[in-house]
Amino acid sequence: MAALLDLEKSSLLKVAPRLMQIVRVLVRHKFLGALRGKNHWPPPKEVRETFEELGLTFLKLGQVLAMRRDLLPDAYISELELLQDQLPALGIAMVRAMIETELGSPLTELFAAFSETPLAAATIAQVHEAVMRDGRRVAVKVQRPDLEEMIATDMAALTYLVALGENLFPRLRAFDLPVLVHEFASSLSRETDFSHEAHSITLFRAALTDIPDLWIPDVVAECSSSNVLTMEFADGERIDTYARQNPEEMPRLINTLVRLTLQTIFEEGLFHADPHPGNVLVLFDGRLSLLDFGMTGELDEPMRESLTILLEAVVKGDARGATDAYLEMAPQGSEKVNRAALLLDIKAVLYEIHRSDLAEVSIGDSFDSLLRAGSRHGVHNPGEFFLLTRTFVILEAMIRELDPEHDYLKSFREEIARLTAKHFSLERIKDKTGKLAREIERLMTDAPGDTRRVLRRLAEGNLGRFQAPAVEALGGRISRNLERLTIAIASAALVIAGAMLVITPQIGWHHNLGEAMVIAGICGTVLVWIGALRNDQGRGRGRR
């Protein structure tokens, strides 16, 4: 799908009719009173009915706002969570036309059989069961027609409306509405691009191949496009239905859910952001099947590292560590945040968590409290953190529904321990050590020559009494210092890595290797110190 937010192509004249329609609906539902402050907001039910009346784009916006507990009171969140992601089904003629236009062949040539009755009909698309020519059962997800133009018009109208509101009522700028609209447009663009969903499925299948109790349907690439997605058919029961009939199976299945969630987050930087019971099936052979990858999140490596530190700090009650890790996850504008005030708020959050019964502690609620604290102090929370919080909230609610007696945190701790052991495996350490060695080698090889070249060019310029020989000598000293600095960094890395191995909860070679790395790092540090001392003594004699 093309970019949904392009004001140059969506002129005010073009979107004016839709903009006026939106304004009329907002006036009728008493939204203008909200401009006078929170005490004049329309009732929660009125807000939900407004989004329902405004149609598809605003239904999705309402669902996004339902995640923003940092912006809205709980009563509004609860009401927005009732927004239904369903629309009347498309007729088979329209479905056939969409598939044939997208895939370039008649429906009868693509499929041996195609059910006219959809399995599900949502705001973005509907799903039909079909049979491929080779006999494979598949599910065909077909996007509603004219969706791109409709969403583009709505997003342009919403953008103009936000800009107008901020100009007329400057207090709205505190809500950072343009950023919210931009993030919503990006999220909606990904969700309506089925090629993005197909790519996500491929990534998840590759990341979770080592979980035997899990099966993710594969994409049928030859019958898929940006608006049509064909996948293998998952034949099973919703996990909540299965739980009522097979309660004894829940501990195993819940552990699988926890494992796949944490493994994709911390190992691959991926997560399924909508793990509700309708998207989790239990197949007839007892395996889990995960469906609908339209809403997924991605975390880059720095954010994953910050998330790991944040989780550890929350568990330990380390408010300062949690504050630092949280601000690292939301770096944009964090230099303007009052860290002292934020630290006090996070201390209060962690105190409430640790005074509760451990069995009742919720990771999702803990993240939600952090988001609220950050927003109160001007932190611009990244969209991925909202999605991640939503993921944990939905997952925990589903687990409590499936088995109220299950110790969710025990499953969480066991999986974290497994991932930690995997992180410190010999193969992983060799890989990281190799990367570090290559980086150090490149730095040691390139830095002296690069430094000399830069200084030579400076010397050739008009630098007054700075002449080339003096600059070359300076370059030599800088080069030697760079080499010592590089060795010092490598030594420090060895000490840190070795110490982590020594303290990891494993026995045997982990401790031996860790001790050897610590000793090697200390020796390297001593050598650098001796070299620096000799250099200082030599310069002292030269001055005398």
On whether residue 367 sits in a domain, the answer given is yes
Residues 284 and 344 in one domain: yes
Distance from C-alpha of 219 to C-alpha of 228, rounded to nearest angstrom? 11
What are the CA-CA distances from residue 88 to residues 85, 132, 297 (Å)? Answer: 11, 26, 29
Quick one: pLDDT at residue 102? 94
Quick one: pLDDT at residue 466? 45
Residues 206 and 266 in one domain: no
On whether residue 405 sits in a domain, the answer given is yes
Strands 288-290, 236-238: pairing is unpaired
On whether residue 3 sits in a domain, the answer given is no
Residues 99 and 72 in one domain: no
Quick one: pLDDT at residue 103? 95
Last residue of a domain, one of 215, 233, 251: 233
Query: What are the helix (H) ranges across 330-382?
Result: 339-354, 363-376
Bridge partners for 228 per DSSP: 142
Distance from C-alpha of 175 to C-alpha of 184, rounded to nearest angstrom? 14
On whether residue 329 sits in a domain, the answer given is yes
Residues 346 and 398 in one domain: yes
Quick one: pLDDT at residue 462? 46
Tokens describing residue 249: 């199976």
Number of C-beta neighbours around residue 152 at 10 A: 23
3-state helix, strand, coil in the chain (%, to 5): 65, 10, 25
Give the domain extent around 127.
Answer: 88-143+193-233
- Rg over alpha carbons for the chain, rounded to the nearest Å, is 29
Whole-model pTM: value is: 0.70
On whether residue 369 sits in a domain, the answer given is yes
Task: Calculate the dihedral angle through the C-alpha atoms of 509, 511, 516, 521, rounding to the nearest 10 degrees.
Answer: 130
What is the set of active-site residues? 274
Residue with the two structure tokens 């077909």:
142
Tokens describing residue 394: 């939905």
Residues 99 and 17 in one domain: no
* SS3 per residue for 130-145: EEECCCCEEEEEEECC
Number of helices (H) and strands (E), helices first, in the chain? 20, 11
Last residue of a domain, one of 408, 423, 438: 423
Check if the beta carbon of residue 269 is closer than 8 Å to that of residue 300: yes
Distance from C-alpha of 345 to C-alpha of 370, rounded to nearest angstrom? 9
On whether residue 409 sits in a domain, the answer given is yes
Check if the beta carbon of residue 130 is closer than 8 Å to that of residue 115: yes
Residues 173 and 58 in one domain: yes
Residues 163 and 132 in one domain: no
What total number of domains does the chain contain?
4
Residues 533 and 470 in one domain: yes
Residues 258 and 394 in one domain: yes
Nearest to residue 42, comparing CAs of 154, 177, 179, 51?
51
Distance from C-alpha of 375 to C-alpha of 186, rounded to nearest angstrom? 21
3-state secondary structure of 267: helix
Check if the beta carbon of residue 162 is closer than 8 Å to that of residue 177: yes
Residues 185 and 292 in one domain: no
Quick one: pLDDT at residue 267? 82
Q: What is the CATH number of the domain that holds 222?
A: 3.30.200
Burial of 187 by CB count in 10 Å (0-12 exposed, 13-18 middle, 19+ buried)? buried
Tokens describing residue 232: 């293998």
Residues 367 and 416 in one domain: yes
The one-digit pLDDT tens for each residue of the chain (544 residues) are 444 445 445 566 778 888 889 888 888 887 776 666 667 788 889 989 998 889 888 888 888 888 777 678 888 888 888 887 667 888 999 999 999 999 999 999 999 999 999 998 888 899 999 999 999 999 999 999 888 888 888 888 888 888 887 787 777 776 677 777 887 888 888 888 999 999 999 999 998 998 989 999 999 999 999 999 999 999 999 999 999 999 999 999 999 998 899 888 888 888 998 888 889 999 999 999 999 898 888 888 888 888 888 887 887 788 898 898 888 887 665 667 888 899 999 998 888 877 766 556 678 888 888 888 888 887 888 878 888 888 888 888 899 889 888 877 777 777 776 766 665 545 555 555 555 555 555 555 655 555 556 556 555 554 444 444 544 554 555 555 555 656 666 666 665 666 665 555 555 555 666 666 667 766 766 665 666 555 555 555 554 4
Quick one: pLDDT at residue 428? 54
368: phi > 0 → left, psi -120 to 50 → alpha, else beta; which? alpha
Check if the beta carbon of residue 254 is closer than 8 Å to that of residue 408: yes
Residues 268 and 296 in one domain: yes
On whether residue 28 sits in a domain, the answer given is yes
Distance from C-alpha of 460 to C-alpha of 474, rounded to nearest angstrom? 14
Q: How far is CA 465 from the centre of its chain?
A: 55
On whether residue 6 sits in a domain, the answer given is no
Distance from C-alpha of 290 to C-alpha of 234, rounded to nearest angstrom? 9
Last residue of a domain, one of 423, 450, 465: 423
Distance from C-alpha of 150 to C-alpha of 158, rounded to nearest angstrom? 12
